[in-house]
Amino acid sequence: MDNNLYQNRRNNLAEIMPNNSVLLLPGADLQYRNADSSYAFRQESSFYYFSGFCEPSSLIAIIKDDNNISSIIFVPPKDKLKEIWDGYRAGPIGAVEEYLFDKAYDNTQIDLLLPDIIHGYDQVMYAIGKKAGFDQKVVDWTTAAGSKDRHSKSLNIIDASSIIGNSRLIKDDHEINMIRKACDISAEAHIQAMKSIKSIGNEQNVESLYMYEFSRRGGRYAAYTPIVASGDNACILHYIDNNKKLDVRDLILVDAGCEYEMYASDITRTYPISGKFSEEQLQIYEIVLEAMHAAINEVKVGNNIMQPQLISEMVITKGLASLGILKGDPEELHEAGAYKDFYMHKIGHWLGLDVHDAGDYMEGDKFMKFKPGMITTIEPGIYISNSMDVDDKWKGIGIRIEDDILVTKDGNENLTEKVPSDPKEIELLMS
């Protein structure tokens, strides 16, 4: 990876910063599972986006004044013994030489040096409320900076969440390639699971198959905790127990995607454990699939992000009314929000370094419009739990279909379409 890319990203971010300001980007810290045993380290996404640097407890300061843009990084110090146990450290010299920062210091010097660095500037910017304890640290640093000169201007603390997040919203070619790879790996895992499901006894074993397929294809980690939900469990939107014995009469909903080189994928498929949809399952499935196709068609330059949402709501409302699950005029039912008992979530979210990626959904008081390079999920669903007041034949049917959609100048590209979603193709694959 060319580290000039990260340097350019820092410079581009500085261009939209106010003059005479400092923007702080904290990295992630090691998280401990128990005693002195840590979880695998994953860098904070925005910190990584602007640095490519993957060592814990680091901090970036991007500085902009009228005549200059510069960036400083604080990193773990070189330590021969630590490197024997835990691996290579770049240290301050390596951070400058390898990652193209203007200056670098040991992270042990943050409290000592940062007040001097921010002293004299008008604004200190960072993503407020995103990292535990960091808000107080910023207050302490700005207080220390202000105490250096009683005649100095007070430092304003500004929330930089939007400018940081929106800088990540449109993906460059490198990012698109990483996400496409993550999607391909995850797609193959879903295909293998569909082929194997009839010989798998419980949800946990299904999850383990996905994790195996991710890892062996290069996506060592899941981008999020997989949802493996059979039967009525599929009506729990964030079900992650994944421990129920499979019933051949049920559908199974699997929401699972891997992370590749820090970038996420996100795919959901719902399919019959027996390999064949029942009549009732198929009727509900076809409504969700119609909503899926209609929503994807709305993902294009010039449309806003609510247009896929609205059309999916309308298709699902009409479909449920046609089956008698909802009773009344579809237009009136939609206006009243009757679909929300069965379809209670939004159509999708941005995708990138995070599975629920950074970036605003509003521009001022209007919904964000799609632009080339954006990647969004499209994931309509219908959920009819056993506790709902409907005909028994519909109960326990939970269906969601989800693909990852890249906005292009000519329309869109479905990055996950290789996983069958057509019910006939699913049944053929599983036969």
Q: Choose, from 400, 403, 404, 427, the residue flagged as catalytic.
A: 400
Judged against a pLDDT cut of 70, whether residue 263 lies above it is answered with yes
Specify whether 402 is catalytic.
yes
Closest CA to 290 of 260, 323, 313, 257: 313
Q: Check which CATH number belongs to the domain holding 394 and give it.
A: 3.90.230.10
At residue 338, the pLDDT reads 98
For residues 134 and 69, membership in a common domain is answered with yes
Give the model confidence (pLDDT) of 365-398 as tens digits. 999 999 999 999 999 999 999 999 999 999 999 9
| CATH number, residue 104 | 3.40.350.10
Angstrom CA distances, 180 to 11, 63, 266, 301, 403, stand at 26, 34, 11, 20, 12
* One domain, residues 160 and 206: no
Whether 38 and 71 map to the same domain: the answer is: yes
pLDDT of 191 above 70? yes
- In the set 44, 232, 379, 404, the catalytic residue is 379
Q: Is 36 a catalytic residue?
A: yes
Would you call 238 a catalytic residue per the annotation? yes
Higher pLDDT, 19 or 146: 19
Catalytic residue, chosen from 266, 354, 357, 427, is 266
Pair of tokens at residue 271: 């399919």
| Rounded Cα gap, residues 192 and 254, in angstroms | 12
Domain endpoint, select from 134, 167, 200: 167
Residue 65 and residue 195 in one domain = no
Q: Give the residue from 146, 167, 188 where a domain finishes.
A: 167
Same domain, 66 and 148: yes
Which band of pLDDT confidence, cut at 50, 70 and 90, is reported for residue 1? Answer: low
- The per-residue pLDDT for 66 is 83
Domain match, 47 and 139 both: yes
Same domain, 137 and 228: no
217 and 160 together in one domain: no
Tell whether the model's pLDDT for residue 311 goes beyond 80. yes
Tell me the one-letter amino acid at 54. Answer: C
Predicted local distance difference test score (pLDDT) of residue 207: 98
Render pLDDT for 49-108 as a digit per residue (tens, 0 to 9). Answer: 999 999 999 999 999 998 799 999 999 999 999 999 999 999 999 999 999 999 999 999
> 266 catalytic, yes or no?
yes
Shared-domain flag, residues 396 and 307 = yes
Burial 191-224 (b: 16+ CB within 10 A, else e): bebbeebeebeebeebbebbbebbeebebeebbb
151 and 177 together in one domain: no
Q: How far is it, in rounded angstroms, from Cα 287 to Cα 332?
A: 19
Q: Pick the catalytic residue from 356, 361, 391, 425.
A: 356
Phi first, then psi, for residue 199 (nearest 5°) are: -100, 5
- Active-site residue identified among 383, 403, 404, 427: 383
Question: Active site residue: 216, 220, 238, 249, which one?
Answer: 238
- Cα–Cα distance for residue pair 241/64, rounded to 1 Å: 48
Mean pLDDT of 298-316: 98
Catalytic choice (89, 345, 413, 417): 345
Asked which of 127, 144, 167 is the last residue of a domain, the reply is: 167
> Residue 151, Cβ neighbours under 10 Å: how many?
4
User: One of 255, 259, 313, 427 is an active-site residue; which one?
Assistant: 255
pTM for the whole thing?
0.96
Query: So what's the pLDDT on residue 3?
Result: 83
What percentage of residues in the chain have a pLDDT greater than 70? 99
Q: What is the pLDDT of residue 36?
A: 87
Catalytic residue among 55, 402, 403, 404: 402
- Pick the range with the lowest mean pLDDT from 152-161, 209-218, 289-298: 152-161
The alpha carbons of the chain give a radius of gyration, in whole angstroms, of 25
In three-state secondary structure terms, 282 is helix
- Containing domain of residue 211, as a range? 173-430
250 is catalytic: no
Catalytic site includes residue 190: no
pLDDT at 236 over 60: yes
Listed in sequence order, the DSSP H helices in 159-305 are 161-167, 173-196, 203-216, 279-297
Domains: count for the chain: 2
Query: Is 350 within 8 Å of 169 (Cβ atoms)?
Result: yes
Question: What pLDDT was estimated at residue 151?
Answer: 56
